[in-house]
A and B are shown apart, each in its own frame.
Chain A
Amino acid sequence: MAFFRLLRKSPPIARIGLAMILLNIAAAILAPVIAPYTETEVVGDVWMPMSSEHLLGTDHIGRDMFTRLLYGARNTIAIAFVITMFSFAIGISCGFFAATLGGWVDMILSRLVDVLMAIPVLIFALVVLAVVGNSIPKLIVVIALLDSTRVYRLSRAVAMDIEVMEYVEAARLRGEGIWWIMRHEILPNAMPPLVAEFGLRFCFVFLFIAALSFLGLGIQPPMADWGGMVRENSGAITFGIFTPLWPAGAIAFLTVGVNFIVDWFLHVASGLKD
């Protein structure tokens, strides 16, 4: 209910963003229904132009581009969502622990995160994935861990600010345990910045997957994902064929949509709400 009330007051830009995301999610969920062909089926010639048969043409080995785009939404969005959830679960709990316990716990966690952050993420991910091998669960764990360092930094800083409030001190004096303080006193007050950050990190994650796929280490063919599709078809650009622009455009479309929503959340969270 509160959400709908908020939505009614929302600016048009936020509604557009929401529509863009909903469109993507619908495409992902309904892919098998809408798609004219199956994900990996070769149905035509290489790089065929747009036609009534192939709405967006075909890719470098003759698969239907429209179909691949729909399934790609499925893989990319779902995996990015799972990764973001994981990285937030890890980042928030560690960040809150560090902020509420302080002392050596904070010291160890923060220095560990510093070490991880000192290494460029893409290179680090490339090295780790090359060593442990490449599968979707491994991909999820590696990216989630790397990404959680950023979440850790934010949630620790936010929790530090809340932790000095007197209502937290009151809970301490009452004798509450650390879990209760984290869950009931700190988390609700840390929500606005964290939700906004969630939207941003979600974008970064699927751009990161796209980058990894582009380098050949992300989601493996023949599974469709947008980054991989850009890479596979990139050669077409030299022939003046704009097929690779479809998946690239899809990435841009989702990113813009998510950012519209995030901007709105930041606006709401900055206290201009009620």
Chain B
Amino acid sequence: MISNPMPLVFAARKPCPMREKCILMTELLRIKNLHIEGFTDDKWVEIVRGIDLTLDRGEVLGLIGESGAGKSTIGMAAMGYTRQGCRISSGSIVFDGIELVDATVPVKKSVRGTRIAYVAQSAAASFNPAHRLIKQYAEAPVRHGLMSFSEAEKTAIEIYRNLLLPDPENIGYRYPHQVSGGQLQRAMVAMAMACRPDIIVFDEPTTALDVTTQIEVLAAIKHITRKYGTAAIYITHDLAVVAQLADRIMVLRYGELVEENSAREILANPKETYTRQLLSVRTLREDKDLSASEKDVILEAKNISASYNGKEMVLENINLKVRRGRTVALVGESGSGKSTLARVITGLLPPLAGKILYRNEELPPALKSRTRESLRTMQMIYQMPDTALNPRQKIRKIIGRPLSFYFGMNGKACEEKILQLLDMIELPDHYIERLPTELSGGEKQRICIARALAANPEVIICDEVTSALDQLVAEGILELLQNLQNRLHVSYLFITHDLATVKAIADEIVVMLQGRIVEQGVKKEILTPPHHEYTELLLSSVPEMDPDWLDNLLKERRKNNENA
């Protein structure tokens, strides 16, 4: 099919005579009127509708949108690849003169990995745990015959150094479980760089990371793409993140282009309402202030220490107070013990030491010995609404069960109360007949909130309730929670790693690190300097809507290090 002899030249990848010509013609990738369909419900549904995209040599293009916008699908299509159950129905993808849409498998193979590489969201799931990092690094170049293993080892050290990894000479000889999450993500970027590709597709490479590690990875990606002049497609749902890296940004929604412009231009004056919404979220949150007047302590954790195996302490000497009608935000990186504390408070994990007081009365440590009434007053909302709702129960049963269980309601009264709750969470009445699988992520989370409210609780523990949701949907959930608090005066213990959420909803902030509380107090105090060292690190690591933010921050940190 391919009349163009170029693929063969590139497959061998000798210092090619066309090299200069390539640099002259700066356009590297051109996608034209791309349509991609996915097979669902026995029919083909269009998920990408006529996208045009160009990428020049050395340019970083940001693709941004919520889940279902088709960003990952487009990113993969840039390699001529579609996920299983998807097909490219029309359009053209020209990579450096090669048409990838109808290219043969050998041609595509010669391009993938060597000239276009892909970095996935979860490094932990993408590495083979049985092999050392460097072996996996060398796999692509050795397999494509570009270099021998020992040559690859040498180049790896250089790449590792440029990715700012510690101890670049030796880190490659570790196994994936022996490095941290941020380092592993960078090791995967190194793998993608192994063949010095022309384009790297980054598919949400920092979404699964904590803010503090996100910075390391962002800095490394920025450094290496600049250093090697690699073009990149950076896919994310976070505008502030992509602003740090991208030269140009494309905003996508429902598989269509909403707006395209240079990064600075998009941030400075967005033209479309949708882009403006995405931008406004953060600024809106910061202004919100709430003043709950009640100050009486309703829930108190005293000197709590806990452990899963009896040896290693997961929580040490935790003291925490939740006041009536107020929100306490529990902040920290993953592994800091936030969720464990929630398990201790609910009684799922009896503590080794310390006690839980509810209205100044001590609660039994184990769930089994607590009374139904004390269970009722404390409800929980989970991070993943998909697993928190039984997929075989209708909404009527999910919300109705706490009503009949705690209050003995049934029949008409129960039905009316369910409709009332549905109204509270802003969902229409006919949802009562639906199954959770028939709802979107945000709607499911609303049902979880209704289930908690059905018990008429005094405290609700929210465990990362917005982190699995898209930005705008998450904003809706936070607003709902805030409105409900204003109306019902429930207290929230809000567990999160997202500081923007904290700023929006908290009255008091508790910062946790490695099972200990490092700082706690009223929001204003915590958020105004001077901060505790760790709080400072956390706060400064949240990306801002400023294209120069990352550079400035890194400069500043370097300066501080030199001074210290």
Asked if A189 CB lies within 8 Å of chain B CBs, one says: yes
Q: Hey, which chain A residues are within 8 Å of B393, CB to CB?
A: 184, 188
Q: Check A167–B380 contact: CB distance below 8 A.
A: no
- Residue pair A167, B387 in contact (C-beta under 8 Å): yes
Is there an interface contact between A189 and B380, defined as CB atoms closer than 8 Å?
A: no
Of A36-44, A86-94, A103-111, A172-180, the one with at least 4 CB within 8 A of chain B:
A172-180
A 139-175 to B, binary, CB cutoff 8 A, 1 in contact else 0: 0000000000000000000000000011101101111
Residues A215-274 near B (CB distance < 8 A): 274
Q: Which residues of B contact A184 (CB under 8 A)?
A: 390, 393, 397, 401
Are A173 and B390 neighbours in the complex by a CB distance under 8 Å? Answer: no
The interface residues of chain A lying within 8 Å CB-to-CB of B69 are none
Contacting pair A173 B346 (CB below 8 A): yes
Contact B346–A189 (Cβ < 8 Å): no
Known: A169-B348, A189-B391, A189-B392. A175 touches B382 (CB 8 A): no
Minimum Cβ distance to chain B for residue A101 (Å): 12
Output the nearest chain A residue to B437 by Cβ-Cβ distance. A274
CA distance A28 to B39 in the complex (A): 44
A174 to B456, CA, bound (A): 12
The yes or no answer to B388 lying at the interface (CB within 8 A) is yes
Contact partner of A174 (CB less than 8 A), chosen from B41, B382, B390, B402, is B402
What 0/1 readout, one digit per residue, does chain A (189-228) give for beta carbons within 8 Å of chain B?
1010000000000000000000000000000000000000
Q: Is the CB of B392 within 8 A of A170?
A: no
CB distance from A270 to the nearest CB of B (A): 15
**Chain A residues with Cβ under 8 A from B248's Cβ?**
none
Interface status of B367 (Cβ within 8 A of chain A): yes
Tell me the complex Cα distance, A51–B500, Å. 88
Please give me the residue from chain B that is nearest to A190 by CB atom. Answer: B392
Q: Given A166-B382, A274-B41, decide whether A174 and B405 contact each other with a Cβ distance below 8 A.
A: yes
Residue pair B367, A172 in contact (C-beta under 8 Å): yes
The answer to whether B390 touches A189, judged by C-beta atoms less than 8 angstroms apart, is yes
Q: Out of B370, B376, B388, B391, name the residue touching A170 (CB < 8 Å).
A: B388
Cα distance, A174 to B457, chains bound together (Å): 11
Contact code string A59-82 (vs B, CB < 8 Å = 1, else 0)? 000000000000000000000000
How many of chain A's residues have a CB under 8 angstroms from any CB in B? 16
Provide the B361-398 mask, 1 if CB < 8 A to any CB of A, else 0.
Answer: 00000010010100110011010100111111100010
Interface bits B328-363 vs A (CB < 8 Å: 1, else 0) = 000000000000000000111000000000000000
Contact with A along B391-422 (1 / 0, CB 8 A): 11100010001100110000000000000000
Q: Which residues of A contact B384 (CB under 8 A)?
A: 166
By beta carbon, the residue of chain B nearest A185 is B390
CB distance from B388 to the nearest CB of A (A): 4
Chain B residues, CB < 8 A from A274:
41, 437
Residues from chain B with a CB closer than 8 A to the CB of A176 are 405
Residues of chain B contacted by A174 (CB below 8 angstroms) = 375, 401-402, 405-406, 455
B405 touching A175, Cβ below 8 Å: yes
Q: How many residues of B contact A (CB 8 A)?
A: 28
Q: From residue A112, how far is it (CB to closest CB) to chain B in Å?
A: 25
Which chain B residues border A185 with CB–CB below 8 Å? 390
CA distance A188 to B394 in the complex (A): 12
Kindly identify, within residues 415 to 449 of chain B, every residue whose CB is under 8 Å from any CB belonging to chain A.
Answer: 437
Q: Which residue of B lies closest to A189 (CB)?
A: B392
Given A169-B348, A170-B380, A175 and B388 contact (CB-CB distance below 8 Å) = no
Q: How many A-B contacts at CB < 8 Å in the complex?
A: 50
**B455 CB contacts on chain A under 8 angstroms:** 174
Min CB–CB distance A1 → chain B (angstroms): 14
Q: Are B387 and A165 in contact (CB under 8 A)?
A: yes
For the complex formed, measure the closest distance between the CB of A46 and the CB atoms of chain B, giving whole angstroms.
57
Q: Which of A165, A166, A169, A175 is within 8 Å of B372, CB to CB?
A: A175
Q: Establish whether residues A170 and B451, one from each chain, have CB atoms under 8 Å apart when the complex forms.
A: yes
Return the chain B residue nearest A165 by Cβ: B387
Tell me the minimal C-beta distance from B457 to chain A in angstroms.
11
In the docked arrangement, what's the CA distance between A189 and B437, Å?
Answer: 13
| Closest beta carbon of chain A to B197's beta carbon, Å | 36
**CA of A184 to CA of B390, assembled, Å:** 9
Residues of B within 8 A of A170 (CB): 380, 382, 388, 451
The interface bits of chain B over 12-39 (1 if a CB of A lies within 8 angstroms of the residue's CB, else 0) are 0000000000000000000000000000
Kindly report which residue of chain B lies nearest to residue A170, judged by CB atoms. Answer: B388
Q: Is there an interface contact between A173 and B375, defined as CB atoms closer than 8 Å?
A: yes
A177 to B178, CA, bound (A): 42
A-chain residues with CB within 8 Å of residue B382 when the two chains form the complex: 166, 170
Enumerate chain B residues within 8 angstroms of A189, measured Cβ to Cβ: 390-392
Task: Tell me the minimal C-beta distance from B67 to chain A in angstroms.
Answer: 20
CB distance from B376 to the nearest CB of A (A): 8
Chain A residues, CB < 8 A from B348 = 169, 172-173
Residues of A within 8 A of B451 (CB): 170
Closest CB-CB distance, B438 to chain A, in whole Å?
A: 9
Interface residue from A166, A172, A188, A191 paired with B388 (Cβ < 8 Å):
A166
Q: Compute how far the CA of A185 lies from the CA of B401 in the bound complex, rounded to whole angstroms.
A: 12
CB-defined contacts of B347 to chain A, threshold 8 Å: 173
A175 to chain B, nearest CB (A): 4
Report the bound CA distance from A169 to B379 in whole Å.
12
Q: B367 to A167, Cβ gap below 8 A?
A: no
- B393 to chain A: closest CB distance in Å? 7
Min CB gap B133→A, angstroms: 31
- A165 to B387 Cα, complex, angstroms: 6
Once bound together, how far apart are the Cα atoms of A173 and B392, in whole Å?
19
B370 (CB) vs chain A CBs: closest residue: A175
CA distance A188 to B393 in the complex (A): 8
* In the complex, chain A residues whose CB is within 8 Å of the CB of B346: 173
Q: Which partner residue on chain A sits nearest B397 by CB separation?
A: A184
Pair B388/A173 contact, Cβ less than 8 Å: no
A188 in contact with B390 (CB, 8 Å): yes
Minimum C-beta distance from A267 to chain B (A)? 14
Chain A residues whose C-beta falls within 8 Å of the C-beta of B392 in the assembled complex: 188-189, 191
Chain B residue nearest to A168 (CB atoms) is: B390
Say how far A161's CB is from chain B's closest CB, in angstroms.
11
For A166, list chain B residues within 8 Å (CB).
Answer: 382, 384, 387-388
Name which residue of chain A comes closest to B405, CB basis: A174
Q: Which residues of B contact A169 (CB under 8 A)?
A: 348
A–B Cβ pairs within 8 angstroms, 9 of them: A166-B382, A170-B382, A170-B451, A174-B402, A175-B372, A188-B390, A188-B392, A188-B393, A189-B391
Given contacts A170-B382, A274-B437, 11 further A-B contacts (CB under 8 A): A167-B389, A172-B367, A173-B380, A174-B375, A175-B375, A175-B405, A184-B397, A184-B401, A185-B390, A191-B392, A274-B41
Residues of B in contact with A (beta carbons under 8 Å apart)? 41, 346-348, 367, 370, 372, 375-376, 379-380, 382, 384, 387-393, 397, 401-402, 405-406, 437, 451, 455
Top 8 A-B residue pairs of the complex, sorted by shortest distance between their CB atoms: A188-B392, A166-B388, A167-B390, A175-B375, A166-B387, A166-B382, A175-B372, A165-B387
